[in-house]
Amino acid sequence: MKIQYRKIHYALEPRKSRLHVQNRSNSKRDIPQPWHCKPFQDACMYGLEIRFSWKTPCKVYLKQGCPVWLGDISAELPPEAPPNWHPFSTFAPGYFGLSPLLDIQVPEGMGLFILPHARCLLDTSGTAPIAIPGLVETSWWPRPFFLVFKAPLERNFISFDYGDPIAQLLVLPLNEQYEIQEMDAATALLRNRRSQLLAKYGKEFSTRITNNDNGYPSFDNKYKELSKHNHKHGCFSVENKLDSSFHQKAQEKN
């Protein structure tokens, strides 16, 4: 998929989204972490990410219920910038805005879906920005898009540092129609059988098993291994692998 961007001033270009984990080296491998989970990893690395482009660190806090920002970026502004212009702005009670100074054009019929970056979900300090979701039709909209963030709580602040990811972007089809229906009995029975097989014999499909005695559940990597099999051989091959295992177990019982 071809996606074009236009930078205003010295904005950092959008890039492939990455998994950002602070102090990963200090975390114990045998304690479950979100980034150990393949679905979370895949979600973090899907789409694009927008980064804070100003070299001056900025902070946003609340003063009498209104967002206030600290950080003098005047030395970084282009000569043609309007007087007193600032990338941050008020938006609505409990929210504030930021212009990333980017125009991103997506293909016709698609939209630019703005999401909070996964970094804010892993943040334990409460200072990572939380972007508000939005779907922008940038195939025809030529203006630089606008990001909205949730304001910090009273006596807290949000930090913006150069190069930090602040939002995640997905390119999705507009006006997608979903046909939602209940599974037929045969499909439901088959998937339930496979589900029960994985619940009971999941370790047989795993290459790594971690047993915990520290209050956390034990875990294995059966999903990751079956996902690798799917990417290499296809969905039908995974289903056949599970069904073959089921029939083998049934024969052993008999």
pLDDT, one tens digit per residue, over 11-22 is: 999 999 998 876
Could you report the per-residue pLDDT of 172-212, keeping only the tens digit for each? Answer: 999 999 999 999 999 999 999 999 999 999 999 999 877 77
User: What's the confidence (pLDDT) of residue 29?
Assistant: 61
Long-range contacts of 69-74 (CB under 8 A, 24+ apart): 69/96, 71/160
**Parts of the chain with a pLDDT under 50:** none
Residue 36 CB contacts under 8 Å (≥ 6 apart), including other chains: 219
Q: Per-residue b/e over 99-130, b at no fewer than 16 CB within 10 Å?
A: bbbbbbbbeeebbbbbbbbbbbebbeeebbbb
Q: Which of 226, 60, 71 is nearest to 154 (CA)?
A: 60
| CATH 2.70.40.10 residue ranges for the chain | 4-173
For domain 4-173, is the CATH number 2.70.40.10?
yes
Q: What is the pTM of this model?
A: 0.86
> According to the model, what pLDDT value does residue 26 have?
52
| 148-157 burial: b if 16+ Cβ within 10 Å, else e | bbebbeeeeb
Per-residue pLDDT at 213: 66
